[in-house]
Amino acid sequence: MKFTWFRCAHAARFLVLPFSLLFAEGCTGVASTGSARGEPTNTDSDPGGPQVMPGGPQVMPGVDPTASALLPGPKPLRRLTNFELKNTLWELLAVDAPVPETLPRDVLSESGFSEGSVISRLEAEAIMEWTGTLAQQGVARIMASAPCATAPADRALQDECVSGFISNFGMRAFRRPVTAAESTEFFSYYRDVLRTQQSYGFEQSIGVLAHLMLQSPRFLYHAGSPIAAMGPTSGAVRLDAYELASRMSYFLSGSMPDASLFEAALNGRLASTEGIQQEARRLLSDPQSKVQIEEIMLQWLGIEDLRKKIKDARYSFTPELGQAMVDETRRLVDSVLDGEGTLASLLLSRTAYVDNGALAALYGHPGFTGNNLTPLQLKETERSGILTRAAFLTSKSLGSELNPIKRGLAVVGKLLCLNVPPPPAGFVPPDHVDPGLSTREFLKRHDANACASACHAMFTPAGFAFENYDGVGAYRTVDGAETIDASASVYFPDGTTRPVVNALELSQLLAADAATGDCFADHWFRRALRRRDIPNDEGHRREVKQAFRGATGNIRELMVALVTSTAFTHRSLESAK
């Protein structure tokens, strides 16, 4: 294990220059955020009609392009994640099909959250096969998009029906009206199918069209509207109504827009902040959005798919237990959303919904035979909120039991947004705690190394607060021969170092401090925009943080603030030709 002095110096710089500098920079005379929020006045072009692109991108009004501080950033092309793909196919075809193993897994993107991975030959083939099967299974729903129930005898009427299908199904699959050129292309493909596949009936030919559309990049990617050969090439534009609806829906619900949202886009209701807020709150009241929020929460904290976690044999860790842990954290998120809906309650709730005996035992309730509908109050002296739940604690543990490192890193990175320089790729600390030493003692000696201490001083101390939890999150009072000492000192962005006696107190401290909410908002900002930060984000982020504070840490209101931010409703033209 080696740290380099370069890294140390780097770390030390961060350590002595906390966020004050960052904010000082952000406070310089940028244009008032109110004017940047001002809505475009010319969004009243007819967004309807299957062959006319609605709204159309407009140059961001009321913003001096030279006042770049508030210009929104790019909207990089992303592929639908597997979660989004599954949800969208369900909406489109009413077929509930698990994502096949052959499909590429999602990957960690620069935003810190999952994104669909790159498609190459193998994946293209897997998608072709999967969507082909689904198109067959979902034929009833597919035919419902055709204006005619059965094939009209008259050829012209048949063609008309197919054109109608292309418009209707394409509108939903592409999340925007099909352009005239696209419609022509698909129709000519249909003609080819009829000509070359003479055994195909009418229904089958339409099925082939649907299969084709489900492999189109317009379906598979979060694409913007075609803007070729028009408009400005620099500056920023407001997303057209459909692109905005789609962006909102995938962020708030993890799926394509529903009928009401499409209608709101069509009728221009997304042209105003109030209209966006109204639709956002509607979507957030739907149970589907809870599943999406669960997903984001798991990714935010880096909670893994624990079915695959490799743990030391002494823990009797099973894939089922790992799954139960993740399920329990999902239900914690649900219960928080059903209650106060705040970040603080997420950090402090002691209510658990457990339907796995091993997990109940791990939480100190061995006899519990309830199900996931029965709330279980966890022990006040042992548990508090998401950071003290088994899923987080197990995810943030190492095979070596040097758990304070990852746990501390999660606290400072995910809750306090202290910028710890990344370790060398794939780096893990020493394999095993030396026999005879407690974890704390071992790490103390390790961190006595001047170099390691510069990095670790930022996060390992916070991790000690979790020493009451072993590698799978079970509560313990001794580590080896030593009594657990879970006292810790936590470095905060304001430059203070605050002592806590254990993770319960740490959770309290985090729940009460505004820095935690600000950090949470930063992470969700990246998730909403699906990209890494750019300097121009600072002003937008400040607005969002204010809104989140104003809503006393309500998570849904944070999401509403995010989708109404100019950073979300607009994009720079950098990523478009």
Partner 1 sequence: MSKWIIRRRDLLRGMGAGAALLPLLNVRAARGQAVPPKRVIMCVFPNGYPSGQYTATGNNGAVDLSTATFAASLAPLSPWKDQLAVVAPVKCINADDAEDYHRAYSMMFSGAAPVSKPLGPSSVWAPTGPTIDQVIANNIDLREKLPRRTLPLALPLGEPEGVDGTLEARRAFWAGQGQPITPEIDPYKLVKDLFVGTAMDDVALTQARAGRRSMLDFLGRDLERFSAQLGTEDQFTVASHLQGIRDLELQLQQIGTGGILGEPPTIPTGLNIQALNDTPALWEAQRQILLAAFRAGVTRVATMQFGPAWGDKLNLPWLPATGGRVWHEIGHGPTDNPQGQDDHQTVVTWYSQQFAKLLEGLASIPEPGPNSVTMLDNCVVVWASNMLSGDHDPSLPWILAGKCGGYFKTGQYLASAANKPVNHLFVDLAHAMDVPLDFLGNPDIRGPMPGLKA
120 lies in the site for partner 1, by CB under 8 A: yes
201 lies in the site for partner 1, by CB under 8 A: no
Longest dimension (CA), the chain: 87
Write down how long the chain is. Answer: 577
In sequence order, which residues have a C-beta less than 8 Å from that of residue 423 and are 6 or more positions away?
455
Residue type, 87: N
Q: Which of residues 290-319 bind partner 1 (CB under 8 A)?
A: 298-299, 302-305, 308, 310, 313
Q: In terms of Cα–Cα distance, which of 434, 424, 433, 423 is closest to 398?
A: 433
In sequence order, which residues have a C-beta less than 8 Å from that of residue 479 and are 6 or more positions away?
438, 439, 440, 467
Q: Which one of the spans 13-21, 119-127, 148-156, 284-292 is the region binding partner 1 (CB under 8 A)?
A: 119-127
Q: What are phi and psi of 268, to 5 degrees?
A: 75, 15
140 lies in the site for partner 1, by CB under 8 A: no
401 lies in the site for partner 1, by CB under 8 A: no
Q: Which one of the spans 64-72, 102-110, 136-144, 493-501 is the region binding partner 1 (CB under 8 A)?
A: 102-110
Residue 196 beta carbon to partner 1: minimum distance, rounded to whole angstroms: 6
Dump the DSSP string for 427-487.
Answer: ----SSPPTTS-HHHHHHHHHHSHHHHHHHTTTHHHHGGGTTB-TTS-B-SEETTEEP---
What SS3 state is found at 100?
A: coil
Residue 181 beta carbon to partner 1: minimum distance, rounded to whole angstroms: 8
Residue 108 beta carbon to partner 1: minimum distance, rounded to whole angstroms: 5
Residue 36 beta carbon to partner 1: minimum distance, rounded to whole angstroms: 23
445 lies in the site for partner 1, by CB under 8 A: no
Is 70:31 a contact under the CB 8 Å cutoff? Answer: yes
121 lies in the site for partner 1, by CB under 8 A: yes
Is 432:400 a contact under the CB 8 Å cutoff? Answer: yes
Report how far residue 324's alpha carbon sits from residue 361's, in angstroms, rounded to the nearest whole number.
12
Is 560:548 a contact under the CB 8 Å cutoff? Answer: no
Q: Which one of the spans 64-72, 115-123, 277-285, 494-502 is the region binding partner 1 (CB under 8 A)?
A: 115-123
166 lies in the site for partner 1, by CB under 8 A: no
Q: Which is nearer to partner 1, 2 or 156 (CB)?
A: 2
Q: What are phi and psi of 571, to 5 degrees?
A: -145, 155
Dump the DSSP string for 246-288.
Answer: HHHHHHHTSS---HHHHHHHHTTGGGSHHHHHHHHHHHHTSHH
Residue 1 beta carbon to partner 1: minimum distance, rounded to whole angstroms: 7
Identify the residue among 67, 94, 108, 140 touching partner 1 (CB under 8 A). Answer: 108
# chain residues binding partner 1, by CB under 8 A:
76
Identify the residue among 64, 110, 274, 320 touching partner 1 (CB under 8 A). Answer: 110
In sequence order, which residues have a C-beta less than 8 Å from that of residue 574 and are 6 or more positions away?
73, 74, 234
Q: Which is nearer to partner 1, 7 or 365 (CB)?
A: 7
Site string for partner 1, 56-95 (x = CB under 8 A): ------------------x-xx-x----------------
Q: Which is nearer to partner 1, 342 or 419 (CB)?
A: 419
Q: Which is nearer to partner 1, 124 or 149 (CB)?
A: 124
Q: Which one of the spans 56-64, 99-107, 245-253, 332-340 is the region binding partner 1 (CB under 8 A)?
A: 99-107
Identify the residue among 201, 399, 495, 550 touching partner 1 (CB under 8 A). Answer: 399
Q: Which one of the spans 84-92, 98-106, 275-283, 359-367 is the region binding partner 1 (CB under 8 A)?
A: 98-106
Residue 443 beta carbon to partner 1: minimum distance, rounded to whole angstroms: 14
Q: Which of residues 508-567 bind partner 1 (CB under 8 A)?
A: 532-533
Identify the residue among 33, 136, 184, 216 touching partner 1 (CB under 8 A). Answer: 216
Is 284:556 a contact under the CB 8 Å cutoff? Answer: yes
Residue 384 beta carbon to partner 1: minimum distance, rounded to whole angstroms: 23
Distance of alpha carbon 377 from the chain centroid = 29
Q: Which one of the spans 29-37, 212-220, 243-251, 500-508 is the region binding partner 1 (CB under 8 A)?
A: 212-220
Report how far residue 530's alpha carbon sits from residue 303's, in angstroms, rounded to the nearest whole number.
19
Site string for partner 1, 217-246 (x = CB under 8 A): xx--x-x--xxx------------------
Q: Which one of the spans 33-41, 52-60, 404-412, 430-438 is the region binding partner 1 (CB under 8 A)?
A: 430-438
Distance of alpha carbon 159 from the chain centroid = 42
Burial classification of residue 392, based on how many CB atoms lie within 10 Å of its CB (0-12 exposed, 13-18 middle, 19 or more buried): buried
